[in-house]
Amino acid sequence: MSERKEFRDLADPAVAHEAIADLDIGGGVETVGLRAARGRVLAERVDATVDVPGFDRAAMDGYAVRARDTFGADETDPAVLDLAGTVHAGETPAATVGEGEAVEVSTGAVMPDGADAVVMVERTSERDDDTVAVRTAVTPGESVMFAGADVSAGERALGPGTEVTAREVSLLSALGVAEVPVRARPAVGIVSTGDELVRPGEDLNSDAGQIYDVNTYAIAAGVAAAGGDPVVYPHVDDARAAMAETLTEAAAECDLVLTSGSTSASAVDVVYQVVEQRGELRLHGIAIKPGKPTIIGRIDDAAYVGLPGYPVSALSIFRTFVAPAIREATGRPDPDSATVAGRMALRESAEEGRRRLVPVGLVTDGDGETLVYPVDKGSGATTSLTEADGVVDLPADTAYLAAGESVTVELFSPDVRPPTVLGVGEDDPALSRVLDRLDRPRYLSRGSRPGLRWLRDDVADVAVVAGPAEDVDARRLGGFEREWGLVVPAGNPQDVSGLADLVDRDLAFVNRPTDSGLRTSLSNALADLADDRGRTRREVTDAVRGFDLTRRAFESPPRSVAAGDADAALGLRATAAKLDLGFVPVGTQAVTVYADPDRTGKPGVERLRTELDDIGGVLSDLAGYGPAE
């Protein structure tokens, strides 16, 4: 009489999860083209290598002008400018804008040389073929989308762990990225066992107890949905030799082998015997119904899970234990519903009379409640979609959504989950490295001031602030210091020695936006220079050519220097070293990460604190960086 194997000690489901997690079914990393990238998960960070847009462009139809030529203009006393030409979208400007001149531009057109603003056509009138009357004053940069305003070269575009959807493909395309590194799909061999099985499409003899093979196709579909690459093998009967041959072949070709059937304790169920002979039987039997006779182990170098034979049991075990392991190996999140309920974290105004789909992001507060915040950088900004998780549908008769109001979010994908940690604040290369070490973070590089504002409004989990911050009602998680100053061409041909040269000499300068902590440090240093000279801060900043013309990301101003478009730029020593440019130090600046005190218990925030505590490895090869004092 054949020996029977009995189930004596059934494993707790938690132990089964751990056993499968320990099998290591990861498929590694591979590079794919954009056409094959949809549905895959990025294995590495993708940084922008170009600015998007790649040129300063008109944000609306109108006239490109020098802003200072419109100062004082109004409806009763317009500024009359000479027309110097026309530039349409897609054309190289043939005209330039000199003193007292204007060039007609269309939306998306390249800004002509000499112009620093656009007057919308509705605020102008052509007096004749040669002149135009401007009936409003504009400021430098008004109605202009500067190069890199959407995405800037050197900026962290997409992080590892990002699932590539049509939104990410659009951003990658805009950046000129043709191939991306993704988590490889583990090859999953699928072997159904049993003398009674017949493949669909073949003749079935019910009198002989034959049944159609359900598990092969159902499990293959589940593997594909979880992100794996299903490899289907012919089903095998219960003969030990045939089973050993097929399982050995599958183990040699796949990362994970799944069988269904022949796992119970009957005398003819021999899969567990093959596993013990060819590999390692780690677990046989789980305290769960359905699905008790499950096997977990290894066959040669492949992970192995033996699923029960009944389809309901097989799929239950697959969904509960195996699918999460495949998703973990491929970096895919657990599935979620297509809609989610939450509360608005911020007030969002609507345009009455028009239905609006508001892109929104999700974040959980300290109690695990879902908060919804609007994500909108303008219709031309690709990142409005890549930073969002879904949309809230505002009917035409809705004036606004109040903070705290309950809403339903239509998710872009059923797989969407809130990020493990939501950060807002300063753009910084060391911070990007720290974020790479976290699981599914989301970081909005809005600047130090917006970071503190989002923290005060209880939207962000953490704020990253460059420079001093007073009366911050938050917990300090950690930080570091960075050296800042003026980035100049290699060799410093203009012999720039400090900020005084920007004030005293006619040097073209590129600045950061006012929300940037780096800009604040520069303004404070110039204020000190003004005090030393007995002048006002405004007098000093007005003397700096280009002080009010800004680029958004930390690397953008130095890239203007590298392109020969500026003599100096506000930047970091690390950026100058990366771009092989010169550097004139001005000072050091603290970068501090603050957390909402009510959210320090979130796993993502705790992990961020852990990484900040061990910041030395991140900073070791970044020029001008060091631990916080």
- CATH code of residue 400: 2.40.340.10
Q: Which of 357, 368, 383, 358 is nearest to 418 (CA)?
A: 368
Pair (79, 191) in one structural domain: no
Q: Residue 439 domain-assigned?
A: no
Pair (41, 176) in one structural domain: yes
Domain with 164 in it: what CATH number? 3.90.105.10
Mean pLDDT of 194-216: 77
Q: Identify the band that residue 193 occupies on the pLDDT scale cut at 50, 70 and 90.
A: confident
Pair (501, 517) in one structural domain: yes
Pair (351, 468) in one structural domain: no
Task: List C-alpha distances in Å: 24 to 30, 190, 333, 374.
Answer: 17, 18, 17, 39
Pair (134, 97) in one structural domain: yes
Pair (514, 600) in one structural domain: yes
pLDDT higher than 50, residue 268: no
pLDDT higher than 80, residue 213: no
Q: Identify the band that residue 379 occupies on the pLDDT scale cut at 50, 70 and 90.
A: very low
Q: Residue 196 domain-assigned?
A: yes
Residue-wise pLDDT for 275-306, tens only, equals 888 888 888 888 877 677 888 999 988 999 99
Q: Which residue has the tokens 């989002």?
A: 454
Determine the length of the chain: 629
Judge whether 114 and 341 are in contact, CB under 8 Å: no
Mean pLDDT of 296-318: 86
The number of angstroms, rounded, from the C-alpha of 291 to the middle of its chain's C-alpha atoms is 38
Which pair of structure tokens corresponds to residue 526?
């110039």
Can you give the pLDDT at residue 126? 75
Domain with 274 in it: what CATH number? 3.40.980.10
Sign of CA dihedral 225, 229, 232, 233: negative
C-alpha 272/C-alpha 127 separation (Å) is 91
Pair (38, 113) in one structural domain: no
C-alpha 101/C-alpha 487 separation (Å) is 33
Residue 394 phi/psi, 5-degree rounding, is -100, 115
Q: Identify the band that residue 4 occupies on the pLDDT scale cut at 50, 70 and 90.
A: very low
Range of the domain at 128: 57-145
Domain with 136 in it: what CATH number? 2.170.190.11
C-alpha 497/C-alpha 494 separation (Å) is 9
Q: Identify the band that residue 482 occupies on the pLDDT scale cut at 50, 70 and 90.
A: very high
pLDDT higher than 80, residue 237: no
Pair (77, 215) in one structural domain: no
Pair (578, 609) in one structural domain: yes
Question: In the listed set 182, 199, 229, which residue is the last one of a domain according to the structure?
Answer: 182
Q: Residue 177 domain-assigned?
A: yes
Pair (169, 249) in one structural domain: no
Domain with 564 in it: what CATH number? 3.40.190.290
Question: In the listed set 402, 418, 434, which residue is the last one of a domain according to the structure?
Answer: 418
Neighbours of 30 (CB within 10 A): 14
Q: What is the 3-state secondary structure (H, E, C) of 551-576?
A: CCCCCHHHHHHHCCCCCEEEEEHHHH
Q: CA 350, 353, 354, 358: dihedral to nearest 10 degrees?
A: 20
Q: Residue 98 domain-assigned?
A: yes
Element (H, E) at 117: strand 117-120
Sign of CA dihedral 386, 388, 393, 396: negative
Mean pLDDT of 459-484: 93
Can you give the pLDDT at residue 264? 53
Pair (310, 221) in one structural domain: yes
pTM over 0.85: no
Can you give the pLDDT at residue 409? 93
Q: What is the 3-state secondary structure (H, E, C) of 27-72?
A: CCEEEEEHHHHCCCEECCCEECCCCECCCCEECCCEEEECHHHHCC
Q: Identify the band that residue 351 occupies on the pLDDT scale cut at 50, 70 and 90.
A: low
Task: Determine the 3-state secondary structure of 416 from DSSP.
Answer: coil
C-alpha 162/C-alpha 160 separation (Å) is 6
C-alpha 539/C-alpha 525 separation (Å) is 14
Q: Residue 423 domain-assigned?
A: no
Mean pLDDT of 258-274: 66
Q: Residue 210 domain-assigned?
A: yes
pLDDT higher than 60, residue 469: yes
Mean pLDDT of 18-47: 90
Instruction: Please list, in sequence order, all residues whose beta carbon lies within 8 angstroms of the beta carbon of residue 295, skipping any fewer than 6 positions away.
Output: 263, 271, 272, 275, 281, 283, 284, 304, 305, 306
Q: Residue 434 domain-assigned?
A: no
Say how many domains are in the chain. 5
Can you give the pLDDT at residue 284? 85
Average pLDDT, rounded, for the chain: 89
For 235-293, strand residue ranges (E) read 256-260, 279-284
Pair (64, 126) in one structural domain: yes
Give the bridge partners for 481, in sequence order. Answer: 590, 626
Q: Residue 425 domain-assigned?
A: no
Which pair of structure tokens corresponds to residue 27?
């498929």
C-alpha 312/C-alpha 324 separation (Å) is 18
For 123-252, strand residue ranges (E) read 124-126, 131-134, 144-145, 156-158, 179-183, 187-192, 197-198, 211-212, 229-232
C-alpha 465/C-alpha 479 separation (Å) is 9
Question: In the listed set 145, 169, 197, which residue is the last one of a domain according to the structure?
Answer: 145
